[in-house]
């Protein structure tokens, strides 16, 4: 069974690149450009994972995390950011992100984190 991922990032180039990487690995991918669109998307579709940018207009990643944790506390989220990563990414973990990834990241890094959070691979560094 294919797992569904929602990519949430205000940068269309980041979304396109991540989508290509994830789809080539067999994931089903949908996109949202901000937290408001993401909240609407999860009302209509059950996602296995959300890859969430923290810095976006309208509803940012932290606002999204707070909203989604009320109704979907077990939803798996990977927070990504290229802004103030020393403070933003640890804060995202405290707000319920299962994992974090600093931008820019390699395709392999994205797949490693996604696979680990979804349980399709063992812990990073462990043999497959």
Q: What share of the chain is helix, strand, coil (3-state, %, to 5)?
A: 45, 20, 35
Residues 82-119 pLDDT 10s = 887 788 899 999 999 999 999 999 999 999 999 999 99
pLDDT of residue 125: 46
**Average pLDDT over every residue of 75-86:** 89
- Residue that the structure tokens 């089903």 belong to: 28
pLDDT of residue 1: 54
Residues 118-127 pLDDT 10s = 998 655 444 4
> Could you give phi then psi for residue 68, rounded to 5 degrees?
-70, -30
Does position 69 have pLDDT exceeding 50, yes or no?
A: yes
**pLDDT-based confidence at residue 77 (cuts at 50, 70, 90):** very high
Structural domain spans, the chain = 4-118
Quote the CA–CA distance of 9 and 19 in Å, as a whole number: 11
Quote the CA–CA distance of 9 and 35 in Å, as a whole number: 9
**pLDDT-based confidence at residue 128 (cuts at 50, 70, 90):** very low
Q: Which fold has domain 4-118?
A: Rossmann fold (3.40.50)
Residues 7-64 pLDDT 10s = 999 999 999 999 999 999 999 999 999 999 999 999 999 999 999 999 988 888 999 9
């Amino acid at each position: 069974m294919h797992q569904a991922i929602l990519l949430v990032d205000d940068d269309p180039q980041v979304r396109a690149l991540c989508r290509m990487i994830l789809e080539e690995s067999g994931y089903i991918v949908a996109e949202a450009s901000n937290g408001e669109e993401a909240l609407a998307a999860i009302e209509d579709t059950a996602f296995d994972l959300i890859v969430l940018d923290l810095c976006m207009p309208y509803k940012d990643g932290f606002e999204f995390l707070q909203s989604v944790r009320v109704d979907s506390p077990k939803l798996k989220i990977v927070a990504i950011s290229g802004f103030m990563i020393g403070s933003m990414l640890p804060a995202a973990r405290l707000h319920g992100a299962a994992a974090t990834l600093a931008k820019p990241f390699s395709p392999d890094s994205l797949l490693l984190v996604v696979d680990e959070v979804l349980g399709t691979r063992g812990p990073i560094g462990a043999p497959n």
